[in-house]
Amino acid sequence: MTPKLTLYSRKNCCLCDEMKAVIQRVSEQSPIDLDEVDIDADAALRAQYDDEVPVLFIDGRKTFKYRATVAELTRKLNHKRRPFLTRVARLMGKDSP
């Protein structure tokens, strides 16, 4: 399943440009579905995220604010892709399901 990323950002924002570059580098290694939202196009979003951009959500969960590295984003995406049973087995102290 391809993870759904939503990036709340704005134009002329150096931190937003950095976050986009990180997402681009990660997307070269594994598929992602990216939706970029300009908060300045919507008054409610601007009020909600004005001082927090960029904000990155993965599958609807707020995951990063301001900065992320390629390693951090890759780790989060890999964690999301692990099968449920593998996670349960690890919690139970077993090697695999």
Residue 54 phi, psi (nearest 5) = -80, 150
Distance CA 43, CA 50 (A): 10
Distance CA 97, CA 90 (A): 9
Structural domains in the chain, sorted by start? 4-91 (3.40.30.10)
Q: What is the pLDDT at residue 54?
A: 98
| Residue-wise pLDDT tens digits, 5-51 | 999 999 999 999 999 999 999 999 989 999 999 999 999 999 999 99
Of 80 and 91, which is predicted with more confidence? 91
Confidence label for 88 from pLDDT (cuts 50, 70 and 90): low
pTM, two decimals, is: 0.80
b/e per residue 3-21 (b: at least 16 CB within 10 A): bebbbbbbeebeebeebbe
Q: What is the pLDDT at residue 82?
A: 57
Q: Are 3 and 77 in contact (CB under 8 A)?
A: yes
